[in-house]
Amino acid sequence: MRKKAVGAALFGLLMIAGCSSGGGGGAAAGATPDGKNGDAPPASSSPRDDAAAIEAAYRKWGLKPFAAPPAPPAEKPVKGKPGEMPVVSDIPTKEKIVFVTFDDGAEKDPKFVDMMRDLKIPFTMFLTDDIIRGDYGYFKPLQGLGNSIENHTLSHPNLRTLGEAAQKNEICTQEKKLGKEYGTAPGLFRPPYGNWNENTRAAAKSCDIRAMVLWRESMQITNMQYQRGDKKLHPGDIILAHFRGPKELKGTSMTQMTANMLRHIQEQGFTVARLEDYV
- How many residues comprise the chain? 279
In this prediction, residue 15 carries a pLDDT of 38
> Phi/psi zone of residue 129: left (φ > 0), alpha (ψ -120 to 50 degrees), beta?
alpha
> pTM here?
0.83
Sign, Cα dihedral of 249, 254, 256, 257: positive
pLDDT along the chain (279 residues), means of 10: 41 38 37 43 72 96 97 92 92 98 98 98 98 98 98 98 97 98 98 98 96 98 98 98 97 98 98 98
Which of 50, 120, 155, 110 lies closest to 274 in space, CA to CA? Answer: 120
CA separation for the pair 96, 260 (Å, rounded) = 19
Which of 100, 108, 129 lies closest to 213 in space, CA to CA? Answer: 100
Report DSSP letters for 160-186, one per residue.
GGS-HHHHHHHHHHHHHHHHHHHSS--
Element (H or E) spanning 150, and its range? strand 149-151
In this prediction, residue 239 carries a pLDDT of 99
